[in-house]
């Protein structure tokens, strides 16, 4: 009888310990998803993403310049507020239209001492050349800061990365579009086009994502967002 009670007590302790470990792992996973940590699996589809929200800490991540040099985004060390605008790549016509539209407000935003960083899924050497000719002309003299997130680190950290369908990737290739080395071809990942406004404390003050890639954040509203985070 005594040995049975002892065994029961041992099993009970083991089960309680296992439950505690499971709960801790579940909590850690939940927090990782909430904060967009890079160890969170990529969402299976666009509708399943878990983007960071206003009021949360912006994540650290590393992307690349057009020359392939690392660009480290350190939200706690920002000298000026920053607006992050993610797009799928130069092959996307809606991304091109959005870039062209934003040329009307970008100079005013910069005068507010707010930086604007565009994060593209293209590989570094295609950041500008992959855009259509009209878009290149529209933004040519505005010194757009377009950075490569071909490794999908920023998209995953921001919680907006999802698995690209094989047919989507093949469709791009069938159209003769150069997607080699892109996040879509290299990682099998696409970002949901999004906007994140980050203040100099590293806090997200606006977070916008729309799973309908045809719908983008309006340029005039972006101007209002910049005014709210401007240090002036």
Q: Which sequence spans correspond to the domains of the chain?
A: 36-229
Query: Which residues, 6+ apart, have CB-to-CB distance to 114 below 8 Å?
Result: 80, 81, 82, 83, 226, 229, 230
pLDDT of residue 22: 37
- Please count the helices (runs of H) and the strands (runs of E) in the chain: 7, 9
Reported as a single tens digit per residue, the pLDDT across 31-41 is: 333 334 445 57
For 207, the enclosing helix (H) or strand (E) is: strand 204-209
In a 3-state reduction of DSSP, which class is residue 85?
strand
Reported as a single tens digit per residue, the pLDDT across 129-153 is: 999 999 999 999 898 999 999 999 9
Alpha-carbon gap, residue 1 to 8, rounded angstroms: 11
Alpha-carbon gap, residue 103 to 175, rounded angstroms: 28
Q: Which CATH class is domain 36-229?
A: alpha beta
For residues 180-207, average pLDDT: 96
For 7, the enclosing helix (H) or strand (E) is: helix 2-35
Q: Kindly report the backbone phi and psi dihedral angles of residue 71, in degrees, each rounded to the nearest multiple of 5, phi listed first.
A: -125, 115
Q: How confident is the model at residue 4 (pLDDT cuts 50, 70, 90)?
A: low
Of 230, 232, 219, the C-alpha closest to 97 is 219
- What rounded mean pLDDT belongs to the chain? 86
Q: For strand 146-148 and strand 115-120, is the pairing parallel, antiparallel, or unpaired?
A: parallel
Angle of CA points 204, 210, 213, to nearest 5°:
130
Instruction: Please report, for residues 53, 136, 196, the alpha-carbon distance to residue 204 in angstroms, rounded to integers and kept in the order given.
Output: 7, 30, 7
Reported as a single tens digit per residue, the pLDDT across 88-133 is: 999 999 999 999 999 999 999 999 999 999 999 999 999 999 999 9
**pTM of this structure:** 0.81
DSSP 8-class letter at 79: S
Reported as a single tens digit per residue, the pLDDT across 11-47 is: 445 544 444 433 333 333 333 333 344 455 799 999 9
User: Which one is predicted more confidently, 91 or 2?
Assistant: 91
Q: Kindly report the backbone phi and psi dihedral angles of residue 21, in degrees, each rounded to the nearest multiple of 5, phi listed first.
A: -65, -45
| pLDDT above 90 as % of the chain | 77
Can you name the residues that pair with 209 across neighbouring β-strands?
194
Alpha-carbon gap, residue 76 to 46, rounded angstroms: 29
pLDDT of residue 15: 44
Query: Which residues, 6+ apart, have CB-to-CB distance to 25 below 8 Å?
Result: none
For residues 48-72, average pLDDT: 96
């Amino acid at each position: 009888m005594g040995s049975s009670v002892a065994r029961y007590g041992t099993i009970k302790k083991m089960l309680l310990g296992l439950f505690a470990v499971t709960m801790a792992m579940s909590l850690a996973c939940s927090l990782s998803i909430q904060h967009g940590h890079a160890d969170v699996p990529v969402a299976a589809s666009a509708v399943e993403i878990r983007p960071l929200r206003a009021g949360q800490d912006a994540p650290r991540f590393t992307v690349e310049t057009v020359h392939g040099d690392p660009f480290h985004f350190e939200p706690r060390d920002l000298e000026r507020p920053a607006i992050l605008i993610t797009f799928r790549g130069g092959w996307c016509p809606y991304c091109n239209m959005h870039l062209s539209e934003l040329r009307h407000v970008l100079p005013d935003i910069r005068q507010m001492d707010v930086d604007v960083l565009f994060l593209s899924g293209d590989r570094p050497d295609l950041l500008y050349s992959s855009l259509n000719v009209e878009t290149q002309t529209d933004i040519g003299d505005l010194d757009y800061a377009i950075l490569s997130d071909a490794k999908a680190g920023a998209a995953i950290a921001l919680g907006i990365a999802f698995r690209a369908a094989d047919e989507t990737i093949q469709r791009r290739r069938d159209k003769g579009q150069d997607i080699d080395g892109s996040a879509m071809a290299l990682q099998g990942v696409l970002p949901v086009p999004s906007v994140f406004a980050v203040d100099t404390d590293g806090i997200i003050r606006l977070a916008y994502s729309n799973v309908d890639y045809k719908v983008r954040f309006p340029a005039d509203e972006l101007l209002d967002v910049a005014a709210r985070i401007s240090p002036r």
